């Protein structure tokens, strides 16, 4: 069935030439968020987001997703609060999406998939000297997850969508200076949080996940623009960049906390 074909595609994709699972992993991502099993934590603070649009550098098709990367040499684009003890610096954001609207997100809520999911990847520059070191440590990374649902046209996302034809092929990069990704984060402050991992190799268990409850709305044309990207380089037989998400992982001995009742 469909489930097995994703595993096959993952196994064949160059990014996944390392193992599909971490032996002995106890906090892997993504997970299904079971709303009624999440525990309200009144001590969770509101998440504060402060991004400097001029730290945005470029868009890069890395052959698995497209990444918008930021200058993270200073504390100009940061998040604080929420479940975090330190401030974390924005490194990049990217998306995961499906071939069709019935799936595409990595996390699910009550077993429901969204057609796409945005990840804003931040690292703990207070404690670690480099991103590469933060990737290896328990409190090294904080990723904000935002679900995309089908609905109204999204003005902020369109700026990005307009740049995608320039990075159609794997290993292409275009300049993309001045973009504020906070326009992609829903206004509702509610989130779930849990301790997890990267969803791509090296799959390290270094991520504090912050999943926004409210999705953003995007229109069909915008999702279709994602699906026009290619996994492949110029000159290779074209393979559409779709279904670039990892299968759900077991919750094991973890609690998902919510900032809301």
Judged by the rule CB under 6 A, the positions of this chain that interact with ligand SG5 are: 62, 64-65, 67, 92, 94, 119, 121, 132, 135, 143, 198-200, 202
Instruction: Tell me the CA distances in angstroms from 239 to 1, 99, 235, one per residue in order.
Output: 20, 12, 11
Q: Which of 195, 200, 14 is nearest to 92 (CA)?
A: 200
Q: Does 91 bind Zn ion (CB under 5 A)?
A: no
- Can residue 246 be called a binding residue for Zn ion (CB under 5 A)? no
| Piece of the chain touching Zn ion by CB under 5 A; list 49-57, 116-124, 167-175, 202-210 | 116-124
Closest CB to ligand SG5 among residues 59, 198? 198
Q: Which residue is nearest to Zn ion (CB)?
A: 119
Identify any residues that bridge with 172 across adjacent strands, giving them in sequence order: none
Q: Which does 206 bind (CB under 5 to 8 A by kind): Zn ion, ligand SG5, none?
A: none
> In 111-196, where does DSSP find H-type helix?
131-134, 155-163
In three-state secondary structure terms, 8 is helix
Helix or strand holding residue 39 (H, E): strand 39-40
Single out the residue of 172, 141, 162, 179 nearest to residue 225, CA to CA: 162
Smallest separation, CB 255 to ligand SG5 (Å)? 20
Among 89, 119, 212, 213, binds Zn ion (CB under 5 A): 119
Binding partner of residue 121 among ligand SG5, Zn ion, none, CB cut-off 5 to 8 Å per kind: ligand SG5
Residues forming contacts to Zn ion in the complex (CB under 5 A) are 119
């Amino acid at each position: 069935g469909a489930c097995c074909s994703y595993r096959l595609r993952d196994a064949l994709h160059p990014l996944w030439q390392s193992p599909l699972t971490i032996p002995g992993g106890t906090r892997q991502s993504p997970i299904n968020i079971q709303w009624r099993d999440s525990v309200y934590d009144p001590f969770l603070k509101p998440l504060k987001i402060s991004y400097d649009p001029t730290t945005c550098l470029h868009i890069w098709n890395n052959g698995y997703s497209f990444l918008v990367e930021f200058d993270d040499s200073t504390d100009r684009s940061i998040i604080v609060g929420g479940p975090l003890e330190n401030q974390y610096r924005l490194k990049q954001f990217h998306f995961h999406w499906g071939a069709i609207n019935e799936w595409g997100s990595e996390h699910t809520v009550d077993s429901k998939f969204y057609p796409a999911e945005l990840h804003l990847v931040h690292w703990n520059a207070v404690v670690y000297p480099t991103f590469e070191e933060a990737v290896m440590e328990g409190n090294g990374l904080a990723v904000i997850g935002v679900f995309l649902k089908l609905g109204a046209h999204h003005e902020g996302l369109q700026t990005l969508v307009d740049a995608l034809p320039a990075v159609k092929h794997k290993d292409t990069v275009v300049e993309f200076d001045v973009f504020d990704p906070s326009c992609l984060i829903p206004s509702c402050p509610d989130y779930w949080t849990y301790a997890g991992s990267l969803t791509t190799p090296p799959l390290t268990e270094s991520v504090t996940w912050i999943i926004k409850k409210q999705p953003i709305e995007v229109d069909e044309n915008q999702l279709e623009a994602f699906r026009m990207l290619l996994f492949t380089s110029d000159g290779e037989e074209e393979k559409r960049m779709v279904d670039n998400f990892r299968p759900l992982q077991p919750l094991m001995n973890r609690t998902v906390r919510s900032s809301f009742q």
